[in-house]
């Protein structure tokens, strides 16, 4: 339910507020997961089947370094934000291609 609520609050995964609200592992008692999912557009259903989540742990100059459970040994993975945070790219997830991004508190996943 929290994921859906935040998805609606963010305007369908619009990335503009992600960097300002992000809580990192080790810096907050309730850090966030970054969830990639469909933006509300014509690509919604094709993107929904490939939704994914990663764990952010460091922010540097428009990049959020992440742990990705699909690539557990790759320490060089990051989400790149451009145009003041209005666009993002991570592997095959790109805001320009119909993807959205939202924050989900870890505590929601452990309840």
Tens-digit pLDDT profile for residues 28-61 = 888 999 988 876 667 667 666 778 999 999 999 8
Q: Name the domain count of the chain.
A: 1
H-run or E-run covering 103: strand 99-105
Lowest-confidence range among 6-15, 63-72, 91-100? Answer: 6-15
Residues in a beta bridge with 60 = 63
pLDDT, residue 7, reads: 62
| CB-based contact 111:50 (threshold 8 Å) | no
The model's pTM: 0.81
pLDDT over 90, % of the chain = 33
**Rounded mean pLDDT, 49-77:** 92
Per the structure, the complete domain to which residue 22 belongs is given by 2-110
- Strands (DSSP E) found in 39-110: 52-60, 63-67, 78-82, 87-90, 93-94, 99-105
């Amino acid at each position: 339910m929290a994921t859906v609520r935040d998805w609606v609050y963010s305007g369908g995964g619009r990335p503009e507020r992600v960097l300002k609200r992000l809580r990192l592992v080790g810096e907050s008692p309730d850090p966030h997961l970054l969830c990639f999912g469909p933006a509300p557009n014509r690509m919604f259903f094709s993107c929904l089947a490939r939704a994914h989540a990663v764990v952010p742990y460091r922010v540097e100059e428009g990049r959020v370094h992440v742990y990705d459970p699909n690539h557990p040994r790759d320490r060089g993975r990051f989400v790149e934000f451009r145009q003041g945070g209005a666009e993002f790219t991570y592997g095959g997830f790109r805001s320009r291609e119909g993807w959205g991004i939202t924050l989900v508190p870890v505590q929601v996943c452990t309840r």
